[in-house]
Chains A and B, each alone.
Chain A
Amino acid sequence: MTTGPSSPDDGAALREAIEERNRLWEELQRKNAVEADLEYWRQRASDIERSRWWRAGFPLRYVKRFVKDPAGMLEGRADAIRRRRRGA
């Protein structure tokens, strides 16, 4: 059985409601797609950080960071120790 609007006004209102519903649906799809992509890239980054090659390169990156900004590195380390102490 096909049901439909009983007057032209009803028809316009229905169409408007459907348009709005569809717009919200599309917005939801976009939001979900962004969230899915975010999750995907987070997973990719985590996979890279857990890879053997990334871990093998840790000393090199550490030295590079230290050479570039020794004061910042030491400050960051001190912060980390302070945070850990507070946490403990």
Chain B
Amino acid sequence: VSVVTVAIPVLNGARYLDEVLTAVRAQRVDREVEILIVDSGSTDGSLEIARRHWAIVHEIPASQFSHGGTRNRMMELARGEHVAFLTQDATPAHDGWLAALLEGFAQADDVGAVFGPHEARPDASHMIKSEMERHFASWGNGGTEIDVQRLDSSPEGIEAYREFPGQLTFLSDVNCAVARSAWEQVPYREVPYAEDQLLGRELVEAGFAKVFHPEARVVHSHDYPPLAFFRRYFDEFRSLREVLGFRQPWGPRQTMRDVRGLVGADRRWLRAQGLTGMELVGPLLVSGRHHVGRMAGSIIGTRANRLPTALRRALSLEGRASFTPYEIPGGLLERDEANVDRNWPWEFVRKAYPRRPIAVEPHGGHAGGPLTIAWVVPPWSVGSGGHTTIFRLVRQMEQRGHRCSIHLFDTGNKERRSGGELRREIREHFVPIEATVFRDLDRFTGADVAIATEWRTAFPVRDLPHCREKVYLVQDDEPQFYATSSLSIWAEESYHMGYRCIAYTPWMADILRTRWNLEASYFECGTDTDVYEFAGEEGREPGLVVVYARGETERRAVELALAGLATAFERRPQIQVVAFGSSLGVTAPFPLRDVGVRPPTELAELYRRASVGLVFSLTTHSLVAQEMMASGLPVVELEGDNVASALGESGDLVELAERTPDSIAGAVERLLDDREGAAAMTRRARRFVEERTWERAGDQVEAALLDYLARPR
């Protein structure tokens, strides 16, 4: 026959012990009930009462008693696989109490402990009765159902647990049962008080379930005079601070509100008992006094560490002077949160692993009719060339009858504006798009095609639901933006995802095909020839050189451009240099005028006045160069496959320089000296740019999208 043990530590408990043991012996369970008493020096006849009820009695000296240590000893002495703990004044409310506790263990294999509610004794004050009812209504749907509690180990679950641990950790060994298998892993701790709260916490954090059973009721309560209540609460809350790190919030308004709330709860309870009108006044005055004492005890108790030892002893009902915070090594409540960033900007990468295929809906390859297209873009600043291209392509798609939406993917959560405000900015400072704009991906509902437009956006777009195709618009060889680093690894990862790509320039498409084995078509950027009108030699200032000096983007090789211009200036001190494009400022070892970020109309005017323009890009071909070409400004660019591929077989369209200061200076000088040759070059360049319209770019992108849709994965 299996055994269940009922264990009760006793010290002078004669007042209720007979009643308690009688109720225990009346329990109806399907196994043998062992009653185990550990007495620490009773002198009031408790031992005789225990023996009368056939309890197994162990006597220990009072000096050996501790709440945690003694209960561990009882677990060792007990024969049962489950040990129900009671205190000497907690009487099982009915003969099914023990069966209910055992039923709690049957709820799951991992149940470490079961606890039940306490009913106040009939002579308890209304505050105690009301408080106990409220307290145990916190579990099991208002205290009516079996409630299996476990720690949710997700980050959100841990956060909620840290916010309010008591809801999960509460365990009272006035009335609970512990599974031996759980106790063997998580024994009671040798703490002066609140050993049960600590056990509850450790069980939950160790992954055990804890069960509330509404039928496992006992009758138990304490009533004290007001000052003793204050001291009792001081003890209780000091322990909660020691064990759970809990601090009672306080402040004049907060505490007033808390006391008012507690008195209000008592008032509702009294009304439910039938009290009305003036009958309520007296009890509520008593409630007010009680709860003020309670709040004082809890506020001071949870800050007991700041009190002198003598005062702690004086305030404690049990005369304890110590304050010993108990830390569980590796415990969830002790973790130092000082450096935790809940909005860590790289979570989106971490969550993208393990690698998984691109999520697309199966479809039959129908590519006719207008499409719905969702563009996912990184945050922008006004003047961003990459975003200008994206929004122009959005507009091009809209003009062809496709419907678009734009979704910001802001990894750093830095964007503070609404979708409506973002849309207004795009329409005012970039392109008058019709698309709706969202500040995040929360309300993404699907589309024919979702387009990632930058390596970061490739991560969320891969998993977006309800899309027929996923496409990656690659304007730059982005892994090259970074030195060998996490970012370079992650930017490369976007090429491992299996996207179908639309690259800016044949050069970029070629890289995607040959180096990364991706399917890639390409588009060529258009230029606003209306804004960047062609101007001939007339009106140009001799010796005026403009340089795109956006040092914020390292791929622009601004230092190299400035080094070349410094050499040119050394050779020809009369040249004047105007730098633009940087909002951080530009400095150089020669006189230079920095005009910062300027709107297109002002830049067009500058391009029409200058004699030479310098614009470098190491990872793609620059749209700024095309705008200079459209304006008839002779351009110096760095030699490279990216430039050669973009400019194609159209002959000399720009002056190419090697990647050295003297070569750059030489190119500038050639253009300044040979104005006739420069003018001929600019005419060719203008014709080249005129062929590359945004309509053409739109056609190229649309053709690629339709092609991909016609060939399902």
Contact = CB atoms under 8 A, between A and B. Distances in A.
A41 B419 CA distance: 11
A73 interface: no
A33 B434 CA distance: 13
Nearest to A35: B443
Interface stretch (A17-25, A60-68, A74-82): A17-25
Q: Most chain-B CB neighbours within 10 Å: which of A11, A26, A29?
A: A29
A36 B445 contact: no
B418 A40 contact: yes
A37 B418 contact: yes
Interface in B358-382: 364-372
Contact of A36 (B366, B369, B438, B712): B438
A35 B418 CA distance: 11
A3 B364 contact: yes
Contacts of A30: 436
A18 B367 contact: no
Interface string B563-579: 00000000000000000
A32 B371 CA distance: 19
B439 A29 contact: no
Contacts of B268: 88
A14 interface: yes
B405 interface: yes
Contacts of A22: 369-372, 402-403
A18 B369 contact: yes
B447 to A, nearest CB: 7
A2 interface: yes
B419 A36 contact: yes
A14 to B, nearest CB: 7
B442 interface: yes
A18 B435 CA distance: 18
A26 B446 CA distance: 11
Contact of A14 (B364, B369, B403, B712): B369
The secondary structure that dominates the A interface is helix
A2 B403 contact: no
A32 B445 contact: yes
Contacts of B364: 1-3
Q: Most chain-A CB neighbours within 10 Å: which of B369, B370, B439?
A: B369
Contacts of B436: 26, 29-30, 32-33
Nearest to A15: B369
A2 B419 contact: no
Contacts of B372: 21-22, 25-26
A21 B366 CA distance: 14
Interface residues of B, number: 29
A48 interface: no
Interface string A25-47: 11011101101110011000000
Contacts of B712: 1
A59 B259 CA distance: 23
B437 interface: yes
B365 A1 contact: yes
A57 interface: no
B710 interface: yes
A3 B418 contact: no
B439 A36 contact: yes
Given A1-B365, A29-B436, A19 B370 contact: yes
Given A19-B369, A19-B370, A33 B420 contact: yes
Contacts of B403: 22-23, 25-26, 29
Contacts of A8: none
B370 A36 contact: no
A32 B443 contact: yes
Nearest to B423: A33
Contact of B438 (A18, A25, A32): A32
A14 B368 contact: yes
A33 B366 contact: no
B442 A29 contact: no
Contacts of A18: 368-370
Interface of B: 268, 364-372, 402-403, 405, 418-420, 435-440, 442-443, 445, 447, 710-712
Interface of A: 1-4, 11, 14-15, 18-19, 21-23, 25-26, 28-30, 32-33, 35-37, 40-41, 88
18 contacts: A2-B366, A3-B364, A3-B366, A15-B369, A19-B369, A19-B370, A21-B372, A22-B370, A22-B372, A22-B402, A23-B403, A25-B403, A29-B435, A29-B445, A33-B420, A35-B443, A36-B418, A37-B420
Given A26-B372, A26-B403, 13 more contacts: A1-B712, A2-B364, A2-B366, A18-B370, A22-B371, A22-B372, A25-B403, A28-B445, A32-B436, A32-B443, A33-B443, A35-B443, A36-B443
